[in-house]
A = this chain, B = another copy of it.
């Protein structure tokens, strides 16, 4: 049986270099989540390329997506033996909404040194990690639909920071697909963007729309919970970067992402 992610990122050939898709309401943060929309575009890219893994994908968001039909146009820029690169644009009503450069490869074919100086967050068991009250939603509906599909369990310290604000803009917690669906490399561009924004631990803000999101997929995740650290260090005149690092349950870094986003003022009331 297809998982919700597989169903909601399905693409169907619609012409040379073109695929059609339907954006559902199951991954909303009031509007379709940027990581979800990126994964729909990447589903078409994967059809166009031979390599299995999205090693690095860069998405620039041109406009907000809506529920309903979308089409993805893919141009292959390079077909290499080890790396291939494609350019893709997801459009709705003939307007580009998200545009992507994606370089695919095979993570299992990489060879060379390994040296890691970051440690995953130390967390109590998932059963002891939960939001205090509602998941913060940046002035929109109290519980976004994506919270039914992606299970983010903040550490106790992070849960407190999301209520009190005023702390460092850093979130730590467990992360998995809801219903425990197995996580593959294809899910990671969604999962790096599926928790609340880290700035919610520091400031009372409204929505934090993404301008650009780049994801490095560094490993194929082992089955089980992921651990996440999401951090913002530099907020200047309302613009911020957010870095997310994901570790699998073996302690291996499987994804690193950075996005540029804007902080909007808190919703009135």
Contact = CB atoms under 8 A, between A and B. Distances in A.
Interface of A: 55-56, 58, 60, 62-63, 77-78, 83, 85, 87, 89, 96, 99-101, 103, 107, 110-118, 168-169, 202-203, 205, 211-212, 214, 216, 218-219, 233-239, 241, 252-253, 256, 258, 260, 262-265
A60 B101 contact: yes
Given A89-B77, A118-B233, A212-B103, A238 B58 contact: no
How many of these chains are in the complex? 2
Given A55-B239, A118-B234, A218-B234, 13 more contacts: A55-B211, A56-B212, A60-B101, A60-B103, A77-B89, A77-B99, A87-B99, A99-B101, A110-B239, A114-B235, A114-B237, A117-B233, A216-B260
Contact of A103 (B77, B78, B211, B218): B211
B87 A87 contact: yes
B60 A85 contact: yes
B241 A256 contact: yes
Contacts of A103: 60, 211-212
Contacts of A211: 55-56, 83, 103
9 contacts: A101-B212, A112-B235, A115-B235, A116-B234, A214-B214, A214-B258, A218-B236, A236-B253, A256-B258
